[in-house]
């Protein structure tokens, strides 16, 4: 039987505020356990939450970016359940009235087509703390630094039909929240993570199959793997005459499998009700207008502009707008090197991307910044160095040896463009290879490449290749 | 000179500033009275003698230096629901018997800023759930007028301490009548302000949408002085309103002729003790003599207030009390087997029966499939009740009736009958559901037990209510009476 996969994602994006969503404690990552948890975060008796205005602005930005209606009235609700790292015994979230209503997002697929994915809603909530199970000798340690960190939970429609689509959607949201500057997108630190709802159904069937929810996946690779594993598990189960049970599952990246966490029967009744400590959030149209004015250019618009303004290909433009940092880098280089968009794109998508990938770092952490990078490309453009030499210079820049010009100078890599100097090298090569000269003159034209190679070698790669070609041709034919 | 404990708060403020006595002497006097009499009443959970004497000395120094606050050196008792830095804050529960608060509630800050001296923390029903002060982990409080009887609750310790003049005045909190009902049963004056008038920061939550702190003192004039230190905007409480704070003492003596007093016919029906009604009618007659006009009104949804209240309040409390889980503070059971065992036994041991009853009721009302029928319906009723009051205030300036249907009942009399206990707040809870201000003022006795007149005003009318109560107290002395054993 042919199966159709149905996937919906719930993405948790940590909002990039200085302080927590309902308290003044810092949200900075990595502090000593429980040093960034104030009385409110600890849920001490008598404390009260006060909404951080900044999270409302950030959620509004997101709503505008996906073409959604920003709710004029939204309400914080309590989601009640007991867990040691949930200090109050309830999480303040939004339930019936979320701040962002339905919107859409277009993803690009590998075959070059695009697809629209529905976003059901996005709501604000507080994060819980962290339970630490190691180092406590059979006990559990609790770190509440993260408790109260603001999250935007972005819920999609079940519109994705493959793990690849799910990843494309997740990447798109990831890029978007960074473009909006509302989330740092750091997945290792848990700033951006998702739950995947997965089901399968026979192709052509209208009703959805029973779904399972895979919790807390924090990398694009794991999302793809976890979904693929889960899809196969469900298909195997059904084909063997079994039934999918509605449950929550955990993905174990070490064993590449999902495991049951709790079934629907064991699921909590969260007893949601409006939080009486917080008033409804009322958003005036003027507020939304003000936020609209500060909206940055979004990825799709930027990509279109890169194509139309700079004549870049769809492929180049897509890659250069994949993250806001990449696009910013590109534009910073372009500012130094006007009119050279194609050269910049080639080098960014080629040599720069390869080095970032090799070292596993993000572009904003690249050891060669945009201005220095432009300095390198400028020397290609003005024929000071060849593309080949430029790679060597780039490597040296990458390990901190200085600017492109300094390295070209100190290593003596400046291209030889002095016709006299090139002629002298060529004369020597011709003198040292009498038999090859004879063969060439006898009609073996393909030997030109051999001579070019010899000249480049003798010049240590510094001779201008175009000049070498021209002079060689003249001299050999003479 | 009159004994210091027989003076009103205003007289004590005057005596301190005239140098008739020092705060140290005054504070010592009340500490001595607590030591001498509280064994009979059990009105204090914690007496902070050393800190009180230190604060009194500080107040005396401040006064000598010429920078005394409005309540400088005045000893007060604080309900044990308010967080008080460095002092046990138990909320009347075993759960918090070991809990030393690391910060001060806004109400406490207000009194500290005004220079007041804290004598200690008063007994209360556990987590403010009760109408008799019998649910306290620290034992029942006795009514100073008859120690076989309850003082009312949940602010029973504050009411009893003030009635017996073990403290010149105290604070209370009122979720369904917890200031007004014990004030009535103990013969003192109590005011529950408009919801949002006093910050709830640092006040341990019972039902967040109903809880409000207020003053409890012999007289309306005293309450005005206390409220001045309590009221005001606080950005730490999102439900606290940024409304201007009146000068509560300024208009106390204003004439009240032409005042329209609404008498809800629903409050003068069966269930109301006829002798209590008689005292209330006498007070109403006195208001007529002061130029007020009595108008019969109707609050047609009154009968729905108790059912709605006993859904909303437990629902909120079931969630508010989830933080008491044995993880970070408060009671934790010995040798828990695992997490669930820790939760079950810590909460099972830490909470008393009435608290557990309300958590169960509330969790039920909020659970999937019941939410619409209970919680949502109760919130709709709440709107109807508010509308009833809004209609009434189109015709009248204030609403009056009895604070409670009967005088103080006997200890144990209703302890096993929650429904009958709940009905002792029948006249007060609608006011919390609507968020309105309400007062109880002593207007006589029945068989030597005090009776309270309930005065309800429109939003933010605290100054007017205090004025109306004070006008009555200018002509009567029920608020000056002290039980013989404590005179």
- Yes or no, beta carbons of A276 and B328 under 8 Å apart: no
Q: How many CB atoms lie within 10 A of CB A39?
A: 18
Q: List, in sequence order, every beta strand (DSSP E) within B389-437.
A: 398-402
A219 touches chain B (CB under 8 A): no
DSSP annotation of B146 reads: B
Higher pLDDT, A414 or A252: A252
- The pLDDT score that the predictor gives to residue B24 is 98
Average pLDDT over residues A32-56: 97
Report strand pairing: A247-252 vs A212-217: parallel
CATH superfamily of B4-257+463-486: Amidase signature (AS) domain (3.90.1300.10)
In sequence order, the 6+-apart residues with CB closer than 8 A to the CB of B70 are B13, B114, B115, B225, B228, B229
CATH classification code of A419-477: 1.10.10.410
Residues 369-398 of B with CB under 8 A from A: 371, 375
- Yes or no, beta carbons of A45 and B204 under 8 Å apart: yes
- The pLDDT score that the predictor gives to residue A138 is 80
Tokens (6 digits) for A167? 């990843």
Q: Which long-range contacts (CB under 8 A, 24 or more apart) does A346-349 make?
A: A346/A316, A347/A373, A347/A377, A348/A319, A348/A320, A349/A316, A349/A319, A349/A320
Best of A34, A42, A45, A131 to mutate (most B CBs within 10 Å, chain B): A45
> pTM for the complete prediction?
0.90
Average pLDDT over residues A188-210: 95
> Which residue shows structure tokens 């809880």?
B211
Tokens (6 digits) for B63? 């006064």
Q: Maximum CA pair distance of chain A?
A: 99
Q: How far is A276 from chain B (nearest CA, A)?
A: 5
A48 touches chain B (CB under 8 A): yes
Q: Which residues pair with A286 in a beta bridge?
A: none
Are the beta carbons of B174 and B192 closer than 8 angstroms? yes
Band (A478; pLDDT cuts 50, 70, 90): low
Which bin fits B91, alpha (ψ -120 to 50), beta or left (φ > 0)? left
Tell me the residue length of chain B: 487
Closest-CA residue of B relative to A267 is B368
Report strand pairing: A90-94 vs A76-80: antiparallel
In order, the DSSP letters of A310-370 are: H---HHHHHHHTSSHHHHHHHHHHHHHSTT-HHHHHHHIIIIIHHHHHHHT--GGG-SS-H
Report in angstroms the alpha-carbon separations of A197 from A170, A239, A267, A342.
Answer: 13, 20, 16, 41
- pLDDT tens, residue by residue, A455-464: 888 888 888 8
Higher pLDDT, B220 or A450: B220
Band (A346; pLDDT cuts 50, 70, 90): very high
**For B166-304, where are the alpha helices, taking DSSP H only?**
180-186, 220-230, 274-289
Residues 229-288 of B with CB under 8 A from A: 235-239
C-alpha B128/C-alpha B88 separation (Å) is 16
C-alpha B376/C-alpha B308 separation (Å) is 10
Active site residues of B: 79, 154, 178
pLDDT at A205 over 70: yes
Average pLDDT over residues A217-222: 93
- Yes or no, beta carbons of A46 and B325 under 8 Å apart: no
pLDDT at A265 over 80: no
So where are chain A's domains? 3-289, 297-410, 419-477
C-alpha B302/C-alpha A149 separation (Å) is 43
3-state secondary structure of B237: coil
Q: In the β-sheet with A212-217, what is the strand arrangement from edge to edge?
A: A103-108, A114-126, A150-156, A3-14, A192-202, A212-217, A247-252, A257-263
Closest-CA residue of A relative to B327 is A84
Best of B98, B207, B213, B320 to mutate (most A CBs within 10 Å, chain A): B320
C-alpha B47/C-alpha B43 separation (Å) is 10
C-alpha B193/C-alpha B402 separation (Å) is 18
Q: How many CB atoms lie within 10 A of CB B339?
A: 16
In sequence order, the 6+-apart residues with CB closer than 8 A to the CB of A265 are none
- The pLDDT score that the predictor gives to residue B294 is 98
Q: pLDDT averaged over chain A?
A: 93
In sequence order, the 6+-apart residues with CB closer than 8 A to the CB of A339 are none
User: Could you say which of A51, A82, A87 has the minimum Cβ distance to residue B328?
Assistant: A87
- pLDDT tens, residue by residue, A156-180: 999 999 999 999 999 999 999 999 9
So where are chain B's domains? 4-257+463-486
Band (A387; pLDDT cuts 50, 70, 90): confident
Closest-CA residue of B relative to A88 is B323
Residues 68-107 of B with CB under 8 A from A: 82-83, 89, 91, 96, 99, 101-103, 105
Cα angle B282, B286, B289; round to 5? 140
In order, the DSSP letters of B111-126 are: HHHTT-EEEEEE--SG
Using the Cα atoms of residue B190, residue B194, residue B200 and residue B204 in order, give the sign of their dihedral: positive
- Yes or no, beta carbons of B366 and A43 under 8 Å apart: no
Report in angstroms the alpha-carbon separations of A441 from A445, A453, A474, B397.
Answer: 8, 18, 12, 119
Q: List, in sequence order, every beta strand (DSSP E) within A136-190.
A: 141-143, 150-156
Best of A41, A46, A279 to mutate (most B CBs within 10 Å, chain B): A46
Residues of B in contact with A133 (CB under 8 A): none
ipTM of this model?
Answer: 0.96
pLDDT at A96 over 90: yes
C-alpha A169/C-alpha B34 separation (Å) is 70
Closest-CA residue of B relative to A80 is B319
The fraction of chain A above a pLDDT of 90, given in percent, is 74
- The pLDDT score that the predictor gives to residue A474 is 87
Report strand pairing: B189-192 vs B438-446: antiparallel
Residues of B in contact with A84 (CB under 8 A): 325, 327, 339
Best of B90, B327, B347, B372 to mutate (most A CBs within 10 Å, chain A): B327
Are the beta carbons of B342 and B86 closer than 8 angstroms? no
Residues 27-46 of A with CB under 8 A from B: 39, 42-46
For chain B, residues with pLDDT lower than 70 are 1
Closest-CA residue of B relative to A138 is B338
pLDDT at A64 over 80: yes
B181 touches chain A (CB under 8 A): no
C-alpha B292/C-alpha A152 separation (Å) is 57
Look at residues A200, A191, A203 and name the one whose alpha carbon lies nearest to residue A158.
A200
- The pLDDT score that the predictor gives to residue A328 is 94
Closest-CA residue of B relative to A270 is B367
C-alpha B223/C-alpha B470 separation (Å) is 10
Element (H, E) at B110: helix B106-113
């Amino acid at each position: 039987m042919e199966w159709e996969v149905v996937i919906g994602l719930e993405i948790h994006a940590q909002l990039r505020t200085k302080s927590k969503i309902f308290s003044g404690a810092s949200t900075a990552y990595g502090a000593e356990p429980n040093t960034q948890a104030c009385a409110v975060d600890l849920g001490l008796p008598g404390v009260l939450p006060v909404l951080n205005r900044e999270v409302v602005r950030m959620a509004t930005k997101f709503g505008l970016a996906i073409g959604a209606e920003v709710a004029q009235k939204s309400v914080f609700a309590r989601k009640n359940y007991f867990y040691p790292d949930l200090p109050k015994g309830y999480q303040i979230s939004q339930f019936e009235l979320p701040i962002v209503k339905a919107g859409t997002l277009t993803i690009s697929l590998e075959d070059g087509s695009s697809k629209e994915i529905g976003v059901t809603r996005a709501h604000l909530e507080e994060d819980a703390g962290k339970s630490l199970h190691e180092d406590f000798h059979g006990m559990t340690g609790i770190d509440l630094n993260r408790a109260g960190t603001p999250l935007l939970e972005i819920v999609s429609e079940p519109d994705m039909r493959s793990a690849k689509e799910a990843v494309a959607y997740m990447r798109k949201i990831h890029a978007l929240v960074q473009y909006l500057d509302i989330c740092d997108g750091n997945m290792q630190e848990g700033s951006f993570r998702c739950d995947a709802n997965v089901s399968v159904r026979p192709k052509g069937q209208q009703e959805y199959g029973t779904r399972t929810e895979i919790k807390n996946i924090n990398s694009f690779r794991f999302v793809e793997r976890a979904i693929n594993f889960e899809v196969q598990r469900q298909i195997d189960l059904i084909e063997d005459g079994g039934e999918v049970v509605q449950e929550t599952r955990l993905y174990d990246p070490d064993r590449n499998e999902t495991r049951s966490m709790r079934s629907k029967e064991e699921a909590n009744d969260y007893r949601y009700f409006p939080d009486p400590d917080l008033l409804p959030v009322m958003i005036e149209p003027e507020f939304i207008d003000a936020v609209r004015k500060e909206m940055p250019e979004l990825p799709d618009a930027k990509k279109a502009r890169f194509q139309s303004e700079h004549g870049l290909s769809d492929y180049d433009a897509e890659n250069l707008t994949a993250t806001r940092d990449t696009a910013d880098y590109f534009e910073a280089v372009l500012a130094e090197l006007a009119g050279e968009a194609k050269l910049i794109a080639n080098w960014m998508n080629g040599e720069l991307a390869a080095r970032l990938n090799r070292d596993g770092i993000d572009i904003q952490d690249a050891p060669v910044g945009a201005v220095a990078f432009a300095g390198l490309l400028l020397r290609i453009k003005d024929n000071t160095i060849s593309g080949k030499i430029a790679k060597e210079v780039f490597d040296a820049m990458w390990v901190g040896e200085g600017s492109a010009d300094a390295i070209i100078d100190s290593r003596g890599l400046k291209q030889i463009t002095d016709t006299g100097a090139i002629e002298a090298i060529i004369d020597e090569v011709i003198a040292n290879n009498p038999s090859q000269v004879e063969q060439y003159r006898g009609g073996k034209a393909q030997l030109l490449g051999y001579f070019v190679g010899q000249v480049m070698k003798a010049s240590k790669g510094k001779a201008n290749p175009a000049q070498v070609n021209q002079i060689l041709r003249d001299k050999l034919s003479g | 000179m009159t004994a210091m404990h027989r003076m009103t708060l205003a007289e004590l403020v005057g005596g301190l500033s005239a140098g008739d006595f020092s705060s140290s002497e005054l504070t010592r006097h009340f500490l001595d009275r607590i030591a001498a009499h509280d064994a009979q009443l059990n009105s204090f959970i914690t007496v902070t003698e050393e800190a009180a004497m230190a604060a009194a000395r500080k107040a005396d120094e401040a006064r000598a230096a010429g920078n005394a606050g409005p309540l400088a050196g005045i000893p007060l008792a604080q309900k044990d629901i308010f967080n008080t830095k460095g002092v046990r804050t138990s909320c009347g529960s075993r759960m918090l018997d070991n809990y030393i608060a690391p910060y001060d509630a806004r109400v406490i800050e207000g009194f500290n800023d005004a220079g007041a001296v804290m004598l200690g923390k008063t007994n209360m029903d556990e987590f403010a759930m009760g109408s008799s002060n019998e649910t306290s982990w620290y034992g029942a409080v006795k009514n100073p007028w008859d120690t076989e009887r309850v003082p009312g609750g949940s602010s029973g310790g504050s009411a009893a301490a003030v009635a017996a003049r073990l403290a010149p005045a105290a604070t209370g909190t009122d979720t369904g009548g917890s200031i007004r009902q014990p004030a009535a049963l103990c013969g003192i004056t109590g005011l529950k302000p408009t919801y949002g008038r006093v910050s709830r920061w640092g006040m341990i939550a019972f039902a967040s949408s109903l809880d409000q702190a207020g003053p409890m003192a012999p007289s309306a004039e005293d309450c005005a002085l206390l409220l001045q230190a309590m009221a005001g905007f606080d950005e730490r409480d999102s439900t606290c309103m940024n409304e201007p704070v009146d000068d509560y003492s300024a208009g106390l003596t204003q004439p009240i002729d032409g005042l329209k007093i609404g008498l809800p016919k629903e409050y003068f029906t069966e269930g109301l003790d006829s002798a209590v009604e008689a005292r209330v009618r006498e007070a109403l007659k006195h208001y007529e003599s002061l130029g007020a006009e009595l108008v019969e009104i109707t609050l047609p949804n009154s009968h729905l207030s108790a059912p709605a209240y006993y859904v909303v309040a437990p629902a909120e409390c079931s969630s508010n009390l989830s933080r008491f889980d044995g993880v970070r503070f408060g009671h934790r059971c010995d040798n828990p087997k695992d997490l669930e065992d820790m939760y079950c036994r810590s909460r099972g041991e830490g909470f008393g029966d009435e608290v557990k009853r309300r958590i169960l009721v509330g969790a039920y009302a909020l659970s999937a499939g019941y939410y619409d029928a209970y919680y949502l319906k109760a919130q709709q009723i709440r709107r109807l009740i508010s509308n009833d009051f809004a209609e009434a205030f189109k015709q009248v300036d204030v609403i009056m009736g009895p604070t409670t249907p009967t005088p103080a009942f006997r200890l144990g009399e209703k302890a096993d009958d929650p429904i009958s206990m709940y009905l002792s707040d029948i006249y007060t809870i609608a006011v919390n559901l609507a968020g309105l201000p309400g007062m109880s003022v002593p207007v006589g006795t029945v068989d030597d037990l005090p009776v309270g007149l309930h005065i309800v005003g429109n939003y933010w009318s605290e100054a007017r209510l205090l004025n109306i109560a004070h006008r009555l107290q200018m002509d009567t002395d029920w608020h000056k009476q002290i039980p013989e054993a404590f005179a």
